Chains A and B, each alone.
Chain A
Amino acid sequence: MTKKRSKCLFVVFSILLVICLIASFVNFTYPFTINGNYYSYSNFVSNLKLGEDIGKTYRIVYRADLPEGEAQANYDDLRTSTKDELKKILQSEGYSDVTASKYGSDSILIQVGNILTIDDENEIVDLIGAPATISFSVNSDNSDPFAGAKDIEEVYATSYYDQETADNVYVVVIDFNDEVIDSIADATADGGTVYIFFGDTEFTQMDLGSSAISEGVIYMQSESFQSLALANTVANRIKTGMLDLELTTVESGTISPTYGVGANLWIAVAMAIFILIGFIFLIVKYRHLGWLACFNLLFFITISLFLLQSIPLVHLNFSGMIGFLIAFIFIVDSFISIFEKAKEHYNYNTKLYIAMKVAQSETLTKTFVMNVGLMIVGFISLLMPSLAIQSFGWVVFVMSFVSLFCIQLLNRLFIKMYLPFNSTDGKKCNFHKGGQNA
């Protein structure tokens, strides 16, 4: 690589890094309007989804009552199944940090982490905020319902390809028990409209035309089902009407993190100090190579932040933050391994550029194995049910992947870019010939 080309590449990468840093850490309003509105940009860090230990949590307390006819002896089991079902519904909507507990002697407490904006709160309220038993009727006043929550076998969202419109069509399927197929067919024999109610409130209505529901299955279609996720939300909303207990909201609202207000700030400050110490260590110990490593590490941090905030299931709790530090330790150690190897070769009177080349190929297996090993650990942790371990697993998995990219590709490129400026003078990297190395 020529010196001129190296200079150009350094300028390009520096500009890229500045953009990455701004995207990661700076919030701003766009200096132009779209349809007369100003829009603001929210950085990667503020988009990170935080767990309930360090971030805001939405909490709902429900009083859970037995439906008529249920034996009191089953109450505890029904309360467990209801809280587990609520948790499942929220998780299938993409809320990864959900806890459900029995509260007092007759209530259920649901806590959902990752609350960033008021929209997130509204979404949860829309989904599970007012659960009431579902019923189906052909009358608009919900008189003589022909089926209820207990008659439903399963509800799910699916899609099929419509050849006429040449597009996917999204459908919510409500499958009833075999026992009520005939009664549903009788009730809907004349076709018409089916009204779906939650308690006494109408949720939606469907026009059957002149056909009856003959096989005990309702296929709900709507123009609002623009994607499978939207259809799935409606399916989940229907599921909240099928819970074993009747729920009444007692209390709801956003609460501060369990580790205290400002806990995330303190942890972030501690992490920043740790990262800064890592940078200083590399620069002091390897001078020019240290600067190169820091340049690379900044890419590592920003790419990791980008991925962590964009993958929907990732949420950061305290364990995740520790995972961030562990991945940082591993990548710094990879740099140290490469530079130490180069130092060793330089010590035996090898030229700097040869020493760097040999060091990179000699440490290839070690760094590769180390990062893949960490990735495997992350993957194993992802499969565990504990939220803390899952968060750790996600962070470690994503960051070891980025680490591989930075060590195996970016580092090679940056060293190639550096060598035209200094291919012989090891002193600039704190290397000494003939056994003078510390």
Chain B
Amino acid sequence: MLNRDFSKSNREYFKKNKFTIIILVAFLLIGTIVLACFGMNTNFELSGYNEFTVRVGEEASNYNEYIEKIQLAINSENGDYDSFSIMGEGDDTKLVIRYNRDLTSEEQSNINDIIAEDLSITIEDVSAHSYVSPVVENIDYIFTALTIILILILSSIFAYFRYNAASALTTIIASLIGSLMFISIGAILRLSIGMSYFAMLIIINLLIIFFAFNIFEHIREKNWLQTDEYSVAIDSSMKANRFRLCALNIGIFLIGLLLVILAPTSIKYIALNIMFLAVVVLAIELYVVPFSWSVFITLCKKREVKVKADKEKVVEESTSKKDIEQ
């Protein structure tokens, strides 16, 4: 009777949030396909880059005009402009330009010609292009994954002992889905992924675990697990935490939006990542955590009931054996 109620409530929960869950799954699927087919759009830190310098010979108050022309020149020769830095000062001011993709020497020389013509400078002021090897090594990817796995293991152990097995499993599933969803969004939108993206992945896991524990803590505090009303438990906990959860993530989203609108182009990609981080955390906490918790608590309870029934059966059998022997 109890188990049937659990299953029923899960079905109802799924029906109620069908649309959102389908969108989550669709995101994951499309992201996985894009990732498998095209990989991530890594920036210069991860994939290496090509670099050349342009001596502009003056301390311009606004470099945007130069950069726009240089960017156009690079992109017209199939290059992929990434970023620039200013080096030196006064007459010796140079712009260090970075772009992705390997270009032929002919394409590189075309870029130099266009820049020399557009900026009215001599061709000697535009240096030869050099490839710069990535600053991030393969081991960094492994260590990032290791950090996330360690955080997940520690937090799920904590969740198991403080709350229950269902909470521990939910923590793992929610974090994994959150990470995958974040990577999927990055893959689908072809966002430029740099070193800060690694840290973002850890942050997303941290926030998901943090909010999930708030939800579990509320259930624990109210002793909902002493009763059998699990769907009520998760609903009430969600209700208690929803405002805080939404307020904070909307705050993070707005900060990202502010940076997208106002900050220089180089930060816009990261700002977009911040916005998606807030969206992913919110989606995971509002839909994935309660849903997977309900599923896992059902499974755990079913198992508990079965183990209990088996134990009772063994006791009954041994008692009846004893009775017969007597």
Tell me the A residues contacting B by CB distance below 8 Å: 53, 57, 59, 99-105, 107, 109, 253-263, 266-267, 270-271, 273-274, 277-278, 281, 317-319, 322-323, 325-326, 329-330, 333, 336, 366, 369-370, 373-374, 376-377, 380-381, 384-389, 391-392
Residue contact A389 to B131, C-beta cutoff 8 Å:
no
Contacts of A59 in B (CB 8 A): 87
CB of B113 closer than 8 Å to a CB of A: no
Residue contact B198 to A388, C-beta cutoff 8 Å:
yes
Contacts of A256 in B (CB 8 A): 85-87
Contact with A along B171-202 (1 / 0, CB 8 A): 00000000000000000000000011011101
CB of B267 closer than 8 Å to a CB of A: yes
| Top 10 A-B pairs, shortest CB-CB distance | A319-B199, A104-B130, A388-B195, A260-B264, A266-B263, A255-B85, A260-B266, A102-B133, A99-B135, A256-B86
Complex interface residues of chain B between 61 and 85 (CB less than 8 A to chain A)? 63, 83-85
Residue contact A281 to B86, C-beta cutoff 8 Å:
no
Q: How far is the CB of B122 from chain A (nearest CB, A)?
A: 19
Residue contact A326 to B203, C-beta cutoff 8 Å:
yes
Complex interface residues of chain B between 126 and 154 (CB less than 8 A to chain A)? 128, 130-137, 139-140, 143-144, 146-147, 150-151, 154
Interface of A: prevailing SS: helix
Complex interface residues of chain B between 154 and 181 (CB less than 8 A to chain A)? 154-155, 158
Contacts of B259 in A (CB 8 A): 266-267, 270
Interface of B: prevailing SS: helix
Q: How far is the CB of A416 from chain B (nearest CB, A)?
A: 25
Given A386-B143, A388-B199, A273–B264 Cβ distance below 8 Å? no
Q: How far is the CB of B263 from chain A (nearest CB, A)?
A: 4
Residue contact A263 to B203, C-beta cutoff 8 Å:
no
Residue of A nearest to B211 (CB): A333
Residue contact A107 to B206, C-beta cutoff 8 Å:
no
Contacts of B98 in A (CB 8 A): 258
Q: How far is the CB of A325 from chain B (nearest CB, A)?
A: 8
Residue contact A101 to B134, C-beta cutoff 8 Å:
yes
Q: How far is the CB of A57 from chain B (nearest CB, A)?
A: 8
Stretch at the interface among B16-24, B101-109, B244-252, B308-316: B244-252
List 15 A-B residue pairs with CB atoms under 8 Å apart, sorted by A's residue number: A100-B135, A102-B131, A103-B130, A254-B87, A254-B88, A255-B85, A258-B98, A259-B264, A260-B264, A318-B196, A322-B199, A370-B213, A380-B150, A380-B151, A392-B199
Complex interface residues of chain B between 283 and 316 (CB less than 8 A to chain A)? none
Given A255-B86, A380-B151, A107–B130 Cβ distance below 8 Å? yes
Given A263-B264, A369-B158, A381-B147, A392–B83 Cβ distance below 8 Å? no
Given A281-B247, A319-B199, A274–B255 Cβ distance below 8 Å? yes
Residue contact B258 to A267, C-beta cutoff 8 Å:
no
| Cross-chain contact of B210 among A57, A323, A370 (Cβ < 8 A) | A370
CB of B265 closer than 8 Å to a CB of A: yes
Residue of A nearest to B262 (CB): A266
Residue of B nearest to A388 (CB): B195
User: How far apart sit A104 and B86, CA to CA, in the bound complex (Å)?
Assistant: 20
Q: How far is the CB of B220 from chain A (nearest CB, A)?
A: 10
Residue contact A255 to B87, C-beta cutoff 8 Å:
yes
